[in-house]
Amino acid sequence: MTDVAVLVGSLRRDSINRKLALALGKLAAPRLDFRLVDLSDVPMYNDDLLPDAPEPVLRMKRQIEAADAVLFVTPEYNRSFPAVLKNAIDWGTRPYGRNSFSAKPGGLVGTSPGPTGAAAGQNHLKSVLNVVDVVLMGQPEVYLTWKPEDFGEDGRIVNDHTRAFLERYVDRFVKWIERTSEPKTSAQA
């Protein structure tokens, strides 16, 4: 089983981005095992905390490092991505030389109720992910305009067109992970 650490940029209980992440996870199983990383108790980045990093930070870093790939699912806030994700990324890259994201195959999707489907937010995030050494899949892009009626009570996708679109994403992501994964060392396997 291929483990994917999923970082959702919203802490909101009814987050549409978390719903999108869960729906993608259902499409991806059993090929990929999506594990949502809890970012709700990760404090704001502070260099002074590094020598004795808080447990939520260590837990987050362990989860990312243990995963075969990372998936970012982001809302758009003011034409960028939310601070929750930037904070997680900043912690993830520290201490210097211990970047939890290094060489991880990665994906990026997002949704908003607006017509551009979080495109501007994703594009800001893309530039950061490239800098932190995530091996990011460029295509296909998922700029999803959220329509509640496309998703059923159980979180499954009930709109055939949307399901086919997201299935295509998952299929490509599975192949991307296979193609770009670095062989694990015996200590990691």
Please report, as ranges, the residues that interact with ligand FNR according to CB under 6 A. 10, 12, 15-17, 75-79, 112-114
Complex with ligand FNR: residue 18 or 104, whichever CB lies closer: 18
Complex with ligand FNR: residue 63 or 74, whichever CB lies closer: 74
Assigned token pair, 53? 């990093």
- Give the integer Cα–Cα distance in Å for 77 and 71: 19
Complex with ligand FNR: residue 71 or 135, whichever CB lies closer: 71
Complex with ligand FNR: residue 38 or 171, whichever CB lies closer: 38
| Cβ atoms of 94 and 64 closer than 8 Å | no
Sign of CA dihedral 52, 99, 36, 21: positive
Complex with ligand FNR: residue 40 or 78, whichever CB lies closer: 78
For residue 5, the minimal CB distance to ligand FNR (Å) is 18
For residue 18, the minimal CB distance to ligand FNR (Å) is 6
For residue 97, the minimal CB distance to ligand FNR (Å) is 33
| Cβ atoms of 112 and 75 closer than 8 Å | yes
Q: Which residues have a Cβ under 8 Å from the Cβ of 46 and sit 6 or more positions away?
A: none
- Give the integer Cα–Cα distance in Å for 67 and 135: 14
- Strand residues in the chain grouped as ranges (E): 2-8, 32-36, 69-74, 105-112, 135-136, 143-145
For residue 106, the minimal CB distance to ligand FNR (Å) is 19
φ/ψ of residue 145, rounded to 5: -80, 120
For residue 15, the minimal CB distance to ligand FNR (Å) is 3
